[in-house]
């Protein structure tokens, strides 16, 4: 059975192995595939594997041999799943592989803002400690997390893990979710978005990207936040109105933001957040520790094995 991975580099830049998958099928791996090369490279493949390469109806219609699509990620909006269902093509994703790493990354941003380790280390290396008349000094204020309020938007597996870590720091946790009745959680207060915006010292976004959540953090939402509040987004870039956030940061309406996702990735050079004040931005890497990618690889291998043996798993469209 012929399988083609169209964009495997981000999952495996060389430190992992495709060997277990190669043992299940005739495997070809491309690091990256330009849109104009998809048809030629995928021709004759029964199994197509993608991370961010879109597979829409107009493309799949030219690939009659495709019987199965595996996504190297949790999100599968790049796939025309309805068309695949009509053709009887199962589509599998990789669920719940990055919960620990993303929750950890949220607190990388939160601690970066609260403890200001980077700023103080830079000051020491610049010689400010060696010339200091006292045993200590501060270049910017630092803060404790204990007693602060963390607002979590979306309370799936990652949101729940973030809540658990926050509580270990002694933080009060409030959250918004579409179905608060699903949770027996007694130590988290479920509330509405307006209350969460007003009361939170830190806000962490963990909602899926839907028509309802697109632009959820807009000028109106930001205007309700405390001037001392810090926003974290590790979910999806378009959940945030980037122009409104840049204005809020530059105006000092909120204290800062930590973003691992943007609306366009890679971002355009004129993205206003690239020059906004007090804005930490990293290149969509919360999911990418070695251990996390190995977990993804293991689940992906199980997905391929399931299809090859006639028992597909983690199917999202049937």
Residue 179 is among the residues annotated as catalytic for this protein:
no
Residue 284 is among the residues annotated as catalytic for this protein:
yes
Catalytic site residue from 236, 242, 293, 295: 236
CA distance 203 to 215: 15
Residue 87 is among the residues annotated as catalytic for this protein:
no
Tell me the pLDDT of the chain (318 aa) as tens digits. Answer: 999 999 999 999 999 999 999 999 999 999 999 999 999 999 999 999 999 999 999 999 999 999 999 999 998 999 999 999 999 999 999 999 999 999 999 999 999 999 999 999 999 999 999 999 999 999 999 999 999 999 999 999 999 999 999 999 999 999 999 888 887 767 899 999 999 999 999 999 999 889 999 999 999 999 999 999 999 999 999 999 999 999 999 999 999 999 999 999 999 999 999 999 999 999 999 999 999 999 999 999 999 999 999 999 999 999
The answer to whether 250 and 221 have CB atoms below 8 angstroms apart is no
Q: Domain segments of the chain: what residues? A: 2-93+290-308, 99-281
Catalytic site residue from 41, 87, 284, 305: 284
Q: What fold is seen in the domain 99-281? A: Rossmann fold (3.40.50)
Question: DSSP letters along 283-302, please?
Answer: -S-TT--HHHHHHHHHHHHH
Would the CATH topology of 2-93+290-308 be identical to that of 99-281? yes
Its pTM stands at 0.93
Q: In sequence order, which residues have a C-beta less than 8 Å from that of residue 179 and are 6 or more positions away?
A: none
Identify the sign of the CA torsion 146, 152, 156, 159.
Answer: negative
Name the residue with tokens 């990207």: 209
N-terminal to C-terminal alpha carbon distance within the chain: 22
Percent of the chain whose pLDDT exceeds 70: 99
Catalytic site residue from 26, 57, 144, 265: 265
Tokens of 297: 């690889």
CATH code of domain 2-93+290-308: 3.40.50.720
**pLDDT at residue 227, as a whole number:** 98
């Amino acid at each position: 059975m012929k399988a083609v991975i169209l964009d495997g580099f981000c999952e495996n830049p060389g430190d992992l192995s495709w060997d277990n998958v190669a043992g299940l099928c005739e495997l070809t791996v491309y690091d990256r595939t330009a849109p104009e090369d998809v048809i030629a490279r995928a021709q004759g493949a029964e199994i197509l594997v993608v991370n961010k390469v879109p597979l829409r109806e107009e493309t799949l219609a030219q690939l009659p041999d495709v019987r199965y699509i595996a996504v190297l990620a949790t999100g599968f909006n790049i796939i025309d799943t309805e068309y695949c269902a009509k053709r009887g093509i199962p589509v599998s994703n990789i669920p719940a592989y990055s919960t620990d790493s993303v929750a950890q990354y949220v607190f990388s941003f939160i601690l970066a803002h609260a403890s200001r380790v980077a700023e103080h280390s830079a000051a020491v290396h610049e010689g400010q400690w060696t010339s200091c008349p006292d045993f200590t000094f501060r270049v910017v204020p630092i803060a404790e997390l204990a007693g602060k309020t963390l607002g979590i938007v979306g309370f799936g597996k990652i949101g729940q893990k973030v809540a658990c870590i926050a509580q270990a720091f002694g933080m009060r946790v409030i959250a918004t979710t579409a179905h608060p009745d699903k949770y027996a959680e007694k130590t988290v207060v479920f509330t509405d978005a307006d209350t969460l915006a007003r009361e939170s010292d830190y806000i962490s976004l963990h909602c899926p990207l839907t028509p309802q959540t697109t632009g959820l953090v807009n000028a109106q939402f930001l205007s309700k936040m405390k001037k001392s509040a810090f926003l974290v987004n590790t979910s999806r870039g378009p959940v945030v109105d980037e122009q409104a956030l840049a204005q809020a940061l530059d105006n000092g309406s909120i204290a800062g933001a930590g973003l691992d996702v943007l609306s366009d990735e890679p971002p355009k050079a004129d993205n206003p957040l690239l020059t906004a004040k007090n804005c930490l931005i990293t290149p969509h890497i919360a999911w990418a520790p070695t251990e996390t990618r190995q977990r993804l690889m293991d689940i992906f291998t199980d997905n391929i094995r399931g299809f090859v043996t006639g028992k597909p798993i983690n199917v999202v469209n049937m």
